[in-house]
Structure 1
Amino acid sequence: MYELNEKELIFVFTGPNGAGRRTVAQMSGSTLGIKQVISYTTRPPRSSEVDGQDYHFISAEQFSDAEANKAFIEVIEFSGNRYGIKEQDVADMIQKFGAVYLVLNRHGAEQLKSTYGNRVVRIFIYADRETVQQREEARGDSPELIERYMSHYEEEMAYKDACEHVFENIDLAHTVFDLTKTLDDTYLRRNLLDLD
């Protein structure tokens, strides 16, 4: 397995589905110049998702073959769909860019933390239950899917205290500003200009 050096970092964005963790991660990554390691999944893409940008959408057979070849650092199953991160993708991106980010649920975040230790910084993004449900509805998720996600809301929220940083995502611009400032000041020290 690839050993991270003291300057290499993996930022993991986690939190309840619908809290905006992916949007916050993408905007923060873009601001800070950090690239995303894309997960693989067997679930079909949502209407707004793009293959290779949101996930690598692959067949169950392709996923099983990769798993048999021990390609994944972690594999989880949610609602009958499988998700995984390829170890080689993490190693390649880290070697190329020095810092990367991923968007994972609590199980994936925990797996990465146990694999890479203090080189993993978990960032918990959340919103209250009502806001999350409204966002899922606005995104066009089916009532059944929303109910499934919401049934895990409290479990996801319980992971908040285990994470290194916690941000409530009510106002996206404020969340991204506060988060990028925190990551830059604490870890990256790139001295981003404060234009306020």
Structure 2
Amino acid sequence: MPQVDEVAAAWERIVGWLRRNAPASAEALRPGASDEEIARLNEELGFDIPDVLEVWLRMNNGSTAKDTEKPIPGGTAHLPHRDSVIFPGGMRFLGCKEIAGQHAEYLHIARDIGDDDYWKSPWIPVMEQSDAPYGIILDARNPSGPPPLLRFSEGDYPTSFLPSLGDFLRPLSDLLETGQAPGSVVAHERFTIAEGRLHWTD
């Protein structure tokens, strides 16, 4: 199955499961990104996002529908809602706006510390913890095949995680539907449902 189709099919299964079993979490999913939002993201990144990310964002533009912002001196503070956390490890799905903002922030840090290996322009943050710089990157440096996933954490350089986005979403859909995803990166993850919300347990 082509990678784009695999991502779309796995995400459709995940969203369907959330709507049936964790509606409060499903309500945190934004509608699909528009042509204008995709174009703006490409412009802000400085390159076109990979097809697998575009199809994912066109299905749902992140899990941040319930997030809010609070004015602070010099700008605004983003306040993630607990329902935005739909992935193991306390991670939320970043939409176009969050992707562009985080990408710019990490490149800014790399310039400030004078370390080009801290963050590279083709690294696209797609999942991130709501309260700390830990998450998953889509590495767009390889145009000839599916972009691999990297894992990043505060104070460490990003490291290899999985060969593709489908290799994360497919077993996650299996885990949600059946409670099992043997041999996968999420094989040992556990979750509960409370008040219509998905909770990942440690």
Do both share a fold (TM > 0.5)? no
* Higher RCO (C-alpha under 8 Å, 6+ residues apart): 1
Higher helix share: 1
